[in-house]
Structure 1
């Protein structure tokens, strides 16, 4: 398995895995499948190329993308871990932990001392994964952008001293 940032040439893989994630877990992400499916090829290419504020990392098994995570720097210079998902065929194999570690490494390499994310506490699998990776729940809640009836709680990981 290889984990690496996407390049513009990975746009088809990025599109396929992101849409698969949104179909599989429609209430886990801040964007809906319908919204993402409407992106143009050029928009997928731009996303795959990455920017200093946002980049996707994909896990590959051979040529097949099997996992995804993204890092987005928001307007307050917080490094946000988003879009985390692993194909059902590869769950329980350590791919998710390696993706989270890769995102944390990218954040640190870019000078961030803290990584934040949002998760519905009822999403026990995700919450457990993040806690094992050193994230802690913060007393901060907000509605999920794609499904405002769902409240997500912020979690944070801080670079160990």
Structure 2
């Protein structure tokens, strides 16, 4: 998980709420706690043989909203269906925990990601906020509702 998350942060540094430098400072105990879900985040990894090729996380925020975070797929596996499987895993986890909605934030400059999320049933909300890791970037909220 550590290697995949750090690879994601290097590949797309302005797509996440934390930076590579911040995550690199985590201790091995921190990473083990993340992997075990003890930090409140459920992480899902996609595998191709023994290689992790994607990651996504789900977390309940302080406001009670279930949030899709840390979504990333290795470039050579984009378009393969891995991303949809990761999003489906986060949705299923949210529903199993009693949530009827999954929210996420996306930069409008990241049109491929926005289109992908729309294909997964997410809709844009009229809510904007600065990206925590890069406050000059405004991200827009999207949400998916369970049937």
Length-normalised TM-score, structure 2 = 0.97
Asked if structure 1 preserves the Cα contact closer than 8 Å seen for 2:105 and 2:142, the reply is yes
Offset at residue 113 of structure 1 (A): 0.2
Asked if structure 1 preserves the Cα contact closer than 8 Å seen for 2:17 and 2:133, the reply is yes
Offset at residue 52 of structure 1 (A): 8.1
* Structure 1 match to 2:47: 60
* Structure 2 match to 1:37: 24
1:16-31 → structure 2 map (5 Å cutoff):
16-31=3-18
Q: Which moved more, 1:140-149 or 1:52-61?
A: 52-61
Asked if structure 2 preserves the Cα contact closer than 8 Å seen for 1:53 and 1:74, the reply is no
Q: Which residues of structure 1 form unaligned runs of 5+?
A: 1-13
Partners of 2:91 and 2:109 lie apart in 1 by 23
The structure 2 residue matched to 1:46, chosen from 24, 30, 33, is 33
1:102-113 → structure 2 map (5 Å cutoff):
102-113=89-100
Asked if structure 2 preserves the Cα contact closer than 8 Å seen for 1:27 and 1:146, the reply is yes
Partners of 1:41 and 1:99 lie apart in 2 by 24
How much is the aligned-residue C-alpha RMSD, in angstroms?
1.0
Offset at residue 62 of structure 1 (A): 1.3
The structure 2 residue matched to 1:121, chosen from 108, 118, 137, is 108
* Structure 2 match to 1:73: 60
Q: Any idea what SS the aligned residue of 2:13 has?
A: coil
Detail structure 1 runs of 4+ shifted over 4 Å in the superposition: none
* Structure 2 match to 1:135: 122
Offset at residue 75 of structure 1 (A): 1.3
1:90-109 → structure 2 map (5 Å cutoff):
90-109=77-96
Task: Provide the aligned length of Structure 1 versus Structure 2.
Answer: 147
Partners of 1:24 and 1:53 lie apart in 2 by 25
Partners of 1:20 and 1:118 lie apart in 2 by 20
Offset at residue 51 of structure 1 (A): 3.5
Length-normalised TM-score, structure 1 = 0.89
